[in-house]
Copies of this chain bind each other. A is one copy, B any other.
């Protein structure tokens, strides 16, 4: 079977990959295919308890192989963006992959954040168990009454009260808040400051009495549960010590930007993994689907041209994202600023096109949960919205480019 992503030569052209790493990726791919994909029906049918049990087992196996990546920040030195991007693609082919390998958002972002900016007591109390996967966390930034695409628009406030902050506000789309041990909340602490210096990041344990868990928001038909959920939270005179501030007070916006950088490349590679999985499903389906006694869908010109179109779209996005990862490795995130904005919308649009084409080629089957495609189609529609809608990225990139002329 031809696999556009992994058997193809491009990645090897782009930079020499250590054969040991390459072998490891293949092994990981097998784990994803053989051990995680069979668990997906539990996710699709909301069998949370059985799912959690199975995922815990899978995590053990991953740790046993030493693939558990809560050692990530340390590994940053040795693992390049390029190499981790390749990993993100492989484990991203299943919606369970990132969780099982200890790479799941929002924990991974919080780990990097706390690793770089938290005090020692916070590291001891929260970071260490988080890295081990013993607890989960969340990140409360988006607010229902403010456009998420403009993080300088925040209504949540943290008012100084002696050694404490008193936090009040309303958050939603707080991914994985259900069952988390703590959240990091973005709140305005310096309302008079410049708009990029108003907010701070503050760690709040989820059992703080001033933090109300209101609901898991139903997204595309499901509220989800535990890790697989997005919550609405309310902060009502929520009191926490100022020592819970992450980094400096007023630096919230800056830290949020830093937090998103590596995430964008990994998101893109996860999407490419999903696109590739859909593509494989499409190709296999059309080869097997008889339309006449002697022909399958694969013999039809309209199908062939869709396959070619998707193939080119996946390859173009993949080459572009890996190239951006290499730019980051060689010249840092600042040098890749344009490209990172670009790959966000370019890859998300490619993903939607490939998912949609696959669903169409599957016909009625594509609408059902008998394949994973319908799940990707509805859940990953968010790719063009979360982390800044396409339009915001396009305007921002367009402006930056035009400044250089």
Contacts and interface: CB of A to CB of B under 8 A. Distances in A.
Interface in A356-405: 359-360, 363-370, 374-375, 377-378, 381-382, 384-386, 389-391, 393-395, 397-399, 401-405
| Chain copies in the assembled complex | 4
Given A14-B14, A221-B375, A377-B378, 6 more contacts: A2-B403, A147-B290, A219-B374, A283-B405, A308-B394, A374-B378
Interface string A290-331: 111000011011111111110110011101100100110011
Interface stretch (A148-156, A204-212, A246-254): A148-156
Interface in A325-342: 326-327, 330-331, 335-336, 338-339, 341-342
Interface secondary structure of A, over-half rule: helix
B391 A302 contact: yes
Given A290-B146, A377-B381, A381-B359, A13 B312 contact: no
Given A301-B302, A306-B398, A378 B220 contact: yes
Interface of A: 1-2, 4, 9-10, 12-15, 44-45, 142, 144, 146-150, 153, 172-173, 217-222, 280, 283-284, 286-287, 289-292, 297-298, 300-309, 311-312, 315-317, 319-320, 323, 326-327, 330-331, 335-336, 338-339, 341-342, 345-346, 359-360, 363-370, 374-375, 377-378, 381-382, 384-386, 389-391, 393-395, 397-399, 401-405
